[in-house]
Amino acid sequence: MRARQHHRFHRGRDVCIFPNRATFSPYPGSHVVREIQRDIDRLAGNSPESRVRYASDKELVMKHRHDLHEQASGRPSECGPDCSPGAPDARRTLSSRAADEDGSLVLFGLILMLLMAMMGGIAVDAMRYEERRATLQSTIDRSVLAAASLSQARDPKAVVEDYFDKAGVASYLKSVTVDEGLNYRDVKAKASAGIAPFFLQMIGIDNMTANVDSRAEQRISNVEVSMVLDVSGSMGGSRINNLRPAAKEFISTVLASSDPGKVSISIVPYNAQVNIGPDMMAQYNVTQRHANSFCVELPDDVFSTTTLDSTRSFVQNAHFDPWSGYNDSSASSFNCSPLASNQVMALNSDATELRNRIDNMAVGGNTSIDLGVKWGAVLLDSGSQSVVQGMVDAAAIPAAFTGRPLDPAVADVMKVLVVMTDGENTTEYKINDPYNYGLSPVFRRNSDGRLSAYFPGQGGGGEWVYSRYSGWRWVTSAAKDYYDVSGGSWIDAPLGGLSGATQLTWPEVWARYPVQYIARQVYSNALGESYATWYYRMISYVSSTKDSRLQQACNAAKAAGIVVYGIGFEAPSN
């Protein structure tokens, strides 16, 4: 009876049992069993060779083992091709290694995913930060550029604040600094916004701050200024004392904030008229009738532009006193100021000369703001270049101002008209023809200055003569045609005789005597009619149209790009 044995081939604790197997005794197939054992050992990793070839020979070896097992037993294996001693352990070894590799990839994948999540979170926070910073920077840049523009009249700080308010970021504006002068404006602003991050908090960053700042400046290098200064009688006392330092400070500010050689300042004093001076008058077509003062009578139609045609014929304003009374025998208050210190100073940049002219101005007379503004605008208009050149040629102004006033169409220039006054227009006077030129009927005795006037046929002079043929008749051969002003009687020759008296021209009459005095003491007393009638025959005035002329002049200046400033000294509300 054949013994029944169970042979176990094992590695570790894994066992594959082959039941009902015959006793191992030498027989021709025993070598097969030994090869199976060797295959199992090799598969189980018991030889160095198996470690190298295991992966590539796995399928082939398993099939070969199955075939050998069936040959040795003479029947099909119950375990199938994978059931052999040591196979489960080998399979576990392979699985274990695969598991080890899978674990490493999972860990690496988790770390990579974490890093990607962190980078994504940082990117989100960075984008939120940049969006806020870009919004602030864009707003602050646009706001300071607008605020720095010299063409806008609003408060620069208010302009910046308005931009931030409309952008919805007003709370982030921290400061606005403005530095400005006549020809420049410098605006600086700072803003700051805090941003709470979503993801950076995980690494200890709890807040991100977007700080932005911006600065803009507009500066015009060439500056031309006309200072139109009121020196009428009402400016006496505290008003002129306030005007002088204000005007001088303005000059210092303009010169200090501008490049040397780039600034021209003209001073235009005015009262009832504007004395433009002999050098400037010589550049216009004005028939000069006296040399006491240099005022020009401007017709109404010139105020609608800033130009003044130098070839047009103009009338020189008489040198006369329209205000003194009919008992005043000496003229003192002239319609056109004869003082050199009250003449126009055209285009200068010498601070000392400009200040001295302002200090030496004298007050008196009526107020004609319209005339002051007109002449101030003329000295800023590029159409006056020929006038300026003529004055340069006459050495009346420095040669450095050749080519001025500059043309804004071809040069970057700022033109400014500054008007300083205490009030409103009053009356401007003129002497009518024929009392404006030529010989007058007035004779002045050389020895004592007594006056007589020649009115032929007006004195009633003559005598009665008797003839036996015609009887008594009136003979005018001895007519008395001269009126003795101080004596109030008619005489047959001027006081002092023709050799001892001088017949005065009308400019000479007005330089010595007030208009009211001549109208009353000479004409009214000698010829009858009221002195007021004679006064208004001799004189005319401009009053009702002066405000409209001023408005036209201002509008024309603004239309020409001139910046107009009005400064009042105790001025009335209207």
Question: Rounded to whole angstroms, how far apart are CA atoms 189 and 177?
Answer: 6
Kind plus residue range of the DSSP H or E element containing 286: strand 285-287
Q: Among candidates 98, 122, 102, 100, which has minimal Cα distance to 110?
A: 102
Q: Once rounded to an integer, what is the mean pLDDT over residues 503-518?
A: 97
Q: Once rounded to an integer, what is the mean pLDDT over residues 421-432?
A: 94
Q: What's the mean pLDDT when you consider all of the chain?
A: 83
Could you read off the pLDDT of 247-282 as tens digits, one per residue?
999 999 999 888 888 999 999 999 999 999 999 999
DSSP type of residue 275 = B
pLDDT at 503: 97
Who's near 335: CB < 8 A, 6+ residues apart?
Answer: 272, 273, 295, 317, 318, 319, 320, 321, 322, 365, 366, 428, 429, 430
Question: Rounded to whole angstroms, how far apart are CA atoms 60 and 320?
Answer: 139
Please tell me which residue, 420 or 219, carries the higher pLDDT value.
420
CA atoms within 13 A on the CB side of 443: 22
Q: Once rounded to an integer, what is the mean pLDDT over residues 396-403?
A: 95
Kindly report the backbone phi and psi dihedral angles of residue 422, in degrees, each rounded to the nearest multiple of 5, phi listed first.
-110, -5
Q: Once rounded to an integer, what is the mean pLDDT over residues 62-66?
A: 56
Kindly report the backbone phi and psi dihedral angles of residue 371, in degrees, each rounded to the nearest multiple of 5, phi listed first.
-70, -40
pLDDT at 131: 82
Q: Can you say whether the dihedral through the CA atoms of 288, 451, 522, 498 is positive or negative?
A: negative
Least confident of 23-27, 183-187, 264-268, 293-297: 23-27
How long, in residues, is the chain? 574
List, in sequence order, every residue forming a beta bridge with 297; answer none if it has no partner: 315
Q: Once rounded to an integer, what is the mean pLDDT over residues 321-346?
A: 96
**Six-digit token pair at 374?**
């007109």
Q: Where are the alpha helices (DSSP H) in 306-409?
A: 351-360, 369-378, 385-393
- pLDDT of residue 511 exceeding 60, the answer is yes
pLDDT at 86: 46
Q: Are 198 and 206 in contact (CB under 8 A)?
A: no
Confidence of residue 81 (pLDDT cuts 50, 70, 90): very low
Question: Rounded to whole angstroms, how far apart are CA atoms 400 and 448?
Answer: 52
Question: Rounded to whole angstroms, how far apart are CA atoms 183 and 405?
Answer: 16
- pLDDT of residue 410 exceeding 80, the answer is yes
pLDDT at 150: 85
Q: Once rounded to an integer, what is the mean pLDDT over residues 288-312?
A: 96
List, in sequence order, every residue forming a beta bridge with 176; answer none if it has no partner: 189
Q: Among candidates 209, 171, 176, 169, which has minimal Cα distance to 190?
A: 176
For β-strands 222-230 and 413-421, DSSP reports them as parallel
pLDDT at 26: 44
Map residue 212 onto helix, strand or coil.
strand
pLDDT at 31: 53
pLDDT at 151: 82
218-243 in b/e form (b: 16+ CB < 10 A) is: bbeebbbbbbbbbbbebbeeebbebb
Q: Once rounded to an integer, what is the mean pLDDT over residues 336-350?
A: 96
Residues of the chain with pLDDT > 90: what percent? 62
User: pTM of this prediction?
Assistant: 0.70
Q: Are 234 and 422 in contact (CB under 8 A)?
A: yes
Who's near 413: CB < 8 A, 6+ residues apart?
Answer: 220, 222, 223, 224, 406
pLDDT at 43: 52
- pLDDT of residue 567 exceeding 70, the answer is yes
Kind plus residue range of the DSSP H or E element containing 124: helix 87-148
Burial class (CB in 10 A: 0-12, 13-18, 19+), 369: buried
Least confident of 27-31, 371-375, 451-455: 27-31
Could you read off the pLDDT of 29-45 as tens digits, one per residue?
455 555 555 655 555 55
pLDDT at 56: 47
Could you read off the pLDDT of 122-139 as tens digits, one per residue?
777 677 778 888 889 999
- pLDDT of residue 83 exceeding 50, the answer is no
- pLDDT of residue 50 exceeding 50, the answer is no
- pLDDT of residue 234 exceeding 60, the answer is yes
Please tell me which residue, 307 or 102, carries the higher pLDDT value.
307
